[in-house]
Copies of this chain bind each other. A is one copy, B any other.
């Protein structure tokens, strides 16, 4: 039983949703109508030893727990507004340092911390729940249509490269390490994409190879992704090649980029690219059927997959 199977089984046992719930569990966020506004809600948990090792400071962990939730809101086209943050740590000093990272991220992303909980735990553990506000209809995973193009924001593989740098104790890759420890979710791009009415979006947390399959499964479509088109920054490429790693494969499978994968007709993607500072790179096409194919030049690339929290 992997993480998807757990979520599927839990979803099967859900009660009938009350009328305020416009989109239930299963997307990046749920969507709620409260008063006249629509809101998105999600939560994400980070656990020491699984999501991070000793190279992440408690401040880094607190920061990242907020950032990955902000990314879920960004993927729906929402504006992050409020968080609740619970932290378990071996000692009070670690707790306080972790909450300083939480507050730092809240300030950076304009999110207000409503409260939370502190407790003792052997492994530093942070869970953040977020409420975001929608100013346009939410962008779901299920709206990709055959004929759409697929595009990503920013660049891929930098976080995976930063993780390798941390694991290897390599210095001189500060941007890559920062992309891993202190991701900056694409809130502006997500909000503008929602305003333009893009078809579908998902944030890249578990790696493109996993997340594009998820988006296609929700939409009932297939796709082709061209590894040669993936945006890989020159420092990412140089660092990965210095380790003998394949940058294209890492960009397709490495997790935690917290970029957005967007499906939309080409003119909509062009309009998005003109409206945001973040580069928007077309990487593939949505097609009829259910196959998700990766290609490099004319060659198929098989068996690409991202991260699963219970099988890895």
A residues bordering B, Cβ < 8 Å? 1-3, 5-7, 9-10, 13-15, 17-18, 20-21, 24-26, 29-30, 32, 34-37, 39, 41-47, 49-51, 81-82, 84-88, 91-93, 95-96, 99-100, 103, 106-107, 112-123, 125, 127, 129, 131, 309-310
Kindly state the separation between the CA atoms of A68 and B208 in the bound complex, as whole angstroms: 38
Kindly state the separation between the CA atoms of A37 and B112 in the bound complex, as whole angstroms: 19
B86 touches A44 (CB 8 A): yes
B92 touches A2 (CB 8 A): yes
Residues of B within 8 A of A30 (CB): 114-115
Residues of B within 8 A of A85 (CB): 43
Kindly state the separation between the CA atoms of A129 and B126 in the bound complex, as whole angstroms: 13
Copies of the chain in the assembly: 2
A88 touches B47 (CB 8 A): yes
B112 touches A117 (CB 8 A): no
- Identify A43's interface contact among B20, B115, B123, CB under 8 A: B115
* Chain B residue at minimum C-beta to C-beta distance from A27: B115
- Identify A309's interface contact among B20, B114, B120, B309, CB under 8 A: B120
Residues of B within 8 A of A106 (CB): 15
Kindly state the separation between the CA atoms of A278 and B174 in the bound complex, as whole angstroms: 60
B114 touches A21 (CB 8 A): yes
Residues of B within 8 A of A51 (CB): 119
Given contacts A122-B49, A125-B125, contact A6 B95 (CB under 8 A): yes
Q: Which 9 A-B residue pairs are closest in the complex by CB-CB distance?
A: A35-B35, A129-B129, A127-B127, A45-B86, A30-B114, A43-B84, A1-B92, A25-B115, A47-B121
Chain B nearest CB from A158 CB (Å) reads 23
Given contacts A6-B92, A92-B2, A92-B310, contact A42 B118 (CB under 8 A): no
Given contacts A1-B96, A36-B35, contact A25 B114 (CB under 8 A): yes
Given contacts A45-B86, A96-B10, contact A121 B115 (CB under 8 A): no
Given contacts A92-B6, A309-B120, contact A127 B47 (CB under 8 A): no
Chain B nearest CB from A281 CB (Å) reads 29
B29 touches A115 (CB 8 A): yes
Given contacts A25-B113, A88-B125, contact A35 B34 (CB under 8 A): yes
Chain B nearest CB from A250 CB (Å) reads 23
Residues of B within 8 A of A24 (CB): 114-115
B100 touches A13 (CB 8 A): yes
Chain B nearest CB from A123 CB (Å) reads 6
